[in-house]
Chain A
């Protein structure tokens, strides 16, 4: 069973992503959510998700820090990390790369683009 983890402090965005990714639940993918970096790290250790959507601006621990933490203490299954940011500054793209993220999407995003990206990463075709 494949797992996707959504990390965002904003419950609405979590909700939105959950609903967008709903089609994958039918393909036997579990959608997990975390409202901050610390919870996210716990879930990553326990559930070993394949794909992580990581918001940048979060209290306690920002997305880049979470990303660095994952890369410095890698879990058994190395997840694919997509940084989600509303900042849209070029410097953020560089920071995302530097912290070890695999992909970078700015908010607001196009749903179809997002779905295509996920099926590419998880190797699951939607009909």
Chain B
């Protein structure tokens, strides 16, 4: 039974009870009044007829006739008693059996002038309606007729009960019919409700059997087609979700495998520097268990320096920070930290964490150290014999010039020719040993630059001073080739922060190249300020460089022209060294040239280069300084 029906039923029952009782009570009341009226008139009629027919008998004092008369009246329903009193109040005859009740004495002396009705209660017998009628206006006495009021009550009660029973029967009957009717209407609704309930639980396969073609049937059909659609959509989504989950799991498994199999240690921290992820390589490097890392702040495990680097990397998107870190078993690691930033990078983006890769660089450092040692050793081993060769050659030259040649007799042509040859040869040995020295210096510079073993001094350098010093250093070359040097240096150039010796080295290289590859004409050195940098150029009127060679002159050991036929003029390292130096400071170096007309080499140095030197360079710089 539906809830709604139950509620309505309860209400109806209550209402019904109220109505039923009201009707019963009013019916009872009406019946009571009617009966009372009937009894009274009946009693009055009896009393009057007794009174009228008793006059003579009373006057005759014929009690037995009266007795017979009243006994007859007693048979009328409702009549309980009749008694007759004379004018003195003495009871002449009565119908009381076995005795006259005491209460009668109270009323037997009533002397109304007309018929009088009054209620009287007999103890143990109930209430009676006493009707008093005077006989001959009281001169002959009075007749009292008692009507039983209890009878009225009993009749009333039974009438009421009958009515209640009847109404109840009708009610039950109508309720049953109503229930059957309601049920018939609500049964398909209930079925539909059940169906809807199942749908909400995603049970799309359960059947619903409503075939009526009223609104409910329509609704049922609509719901059915909706369910099929939903079923399809759900199926599709479920499939899609399952596919996505599988794909995600595969990707995750793949990524985890990649991370877990990395040779480098991986460490991930959150915004507070708390470690959220490590890979097995990292645990191995520090000889700790994974659980020893997770949830702890990296500062407490790796120290302040490391934590600072991690924090810096998190705060600066697009920048990489490195530091060295001690690993277990006396090994050394290099940590590279990068901030984790969401795709939408805002300027105030603080990053949601940092990823740190740690590589064991113990052997690299060892190799590095060996490389440095090797460079020093080779340098030493090459320079020492070179020193002897050059030194002794100079001594021989001196001794020959000072002691031997002046004392040789000049007349022998052969001897003179020999002397001239010896002179030439010794000069060749000297210049060749000089070339060898230059080569060794260049090779050393290059290998030091490449190994990051250069101590870059940071000082304020006035570009004009650096150029001036380079010009002084190359003045001898200009004199030798009788070339003109033109200077065009802007006044009040701002200072740059860099290593002065290195910048001079670059300018010397460019100037000596210009002289080397120019036979006639001039060399011009210019310097001016651009927006954020200083531009220096060295141009000559020499042989120039072809388009194809232009791209290669900055490479190591690269020389323009055919090295087989053209006599090599150097080692081909000069420009490569220049390039490395300029690029270290974030500047650029390039050449513009026309074959046969001359070349111009340009380089720029950024003005705020101290800030722009990349962080990695800075770290390495620090690191070399520490050694």
Contact = CB atoms under 8 A, between A and B. Distances in A.
Interface of A: 10, 12-13, 16-17, 19-20, 57, 86-91, 106-109, 111
B379 A86 contact: yes
A13 B387 CA distance: 8
B391 A20 contact: yes
A71 B281 CA distance: 51
A10 B384 contact: yes
A88 B444 contact: yes
Contacts, number: 57
A14 B130 CA distance: 173
B547 interface: no
B383 A13 contact: no
A111 B394 contact: yes
Contact of A108 (B390, B398, B444, B455): B390
B396 to A, nearest CB: 10
Contacts of B437: 108
A86 B455 CA distance: 18
B395 interface: yes
30 contacts: A12-B384, A12-B388, A13-B384, A13-B387, A13-B388, A16-B388, A16-B391, A16-B392, A16-B395, A19-B391, A19-B392, A86-B380, A86-B384, A87-B376, A87-B379, A88-B379, A88-B383, A88-B441, A88-B444, A89-B376, A106-B383, A107-B384, A107-B386, A107-B387, A108-B383, A108-B390, A108-B433, A109-B391, A111-B394, A111-B395
Nearest to B437: A108
Contacts of A87: 376, 379-380
Interface string B425-447: 00000000100010001001000
Contacts of A88: 379, 383, 441, 444
Contacts of B380: 57, 86-87
B394 to A, nearest CB: 4
A13 B380 CA distance: 13
A-B pairs, 8 with minimum CB distance: A86-B383, A108-B387, A107-B387, A16-B391, A86-B380, A111-B394, A108-B390, A107-B383
Contacts of B441: 88
Contacts of A109: 387, 391
Contacts of B382: 86
A90 B444 CA distance: 12
A12 B390 CA distance: 12
Interface of B: 376, 379-380, 382-392, 394-395, 398, 433, 437, 441, 444, 448, 454-455
* Residue of B379, B385, B387, B441 contacting most chain A CB atoms (<10 Å): B387
**Which of B398, B433, B444: most chain A CB closer than 10 A?**
B398
A19 B393 CA distance: 12
Give the interface SS of chain B, mostly helix, strand, loop or mixed. Answer: helix
Contacts of B448: 89
B626 to A, nearest CB: 12
B435 to A, nearest CB: 12
B395 A19 contact: yes
Given A13-B388, A107-B386, 6 more contacts: A87-B379, A106-B383, A107-B383, A107-B387, A108-B387, A111-B398
Contacts of B387: 13, 16, 86, 107-109
Contacts of A111: 391, 394-395, 398
A20 B379 contact: no
A96 B455 CA distance: 16
Contacts of A10: 384
A111 to B, nearest CB: 4
A12 B382 CA distance: 14
A36 to B, nearest CB: 16
B372 to A, nearest CB: 9
A20 B396 CA distance: 10
A78 B376 CA distance: 31
Nearest to A89: B376
A57 B384 CA distance: 11
Contacts of A86: 379-380, 382-384, 387
Given A86-B380, A87-B379, A88-B441, A20 B395 contact: yes
Contacts of A20: 391, 394-395
A107 B392 CA distance: 13
Which of A10, A57, A107, A109 counts the most B-chain CB atoms under 10 A from its CB?
Answer: A107
Contacts of B394: 20, 111
Nearest to B434: A108
B559 to A, nearest CB: 24
A59 to B, nearest CB: 13
Most buried by B among A10, A16, A88: A88
B391 A90 contact: no
A90 B501 CA distance: 11
B317 to A, nearest CB: 36
Contacts of A91: 455
Contacts of A57: 380
A90 B625 CA distance: 12
A10 B384 CA distance: 9
Nearest to A111: B394
A17 B387 CA distance: 10
A88 B395 CA distance: 24
A111 B398 CA distance: 10
Contacts of B389: 108
Contacts of B433: 108
B427 to A, nearest CB: 14
A13 B392 CA distance: 10
Contacts of A108: 383, 386-387, 389-391, 433, 437
A87 B374 CA distance: 11
A108 B46 CA distance: 174
Nearest to B378: A86
A93 to B, nearest CB: 10
Contacts of A16: 387-388, 391-392, 395
A29 B387 CA distance: 24
A77 B392 CA distance: 32
A91 B26 CA distance: 129
A11 to B, nearest CB: 10
Contacts of B376: 87, 89
Q: Which of B384, B385, B398, B441 has the most CB of A within 10 A?
A: B384
> Most A CB atoms within 10 A — which of B379, B382, B454?
B379
Contacts of B391: 16-17, 19-20, 108-109, 111
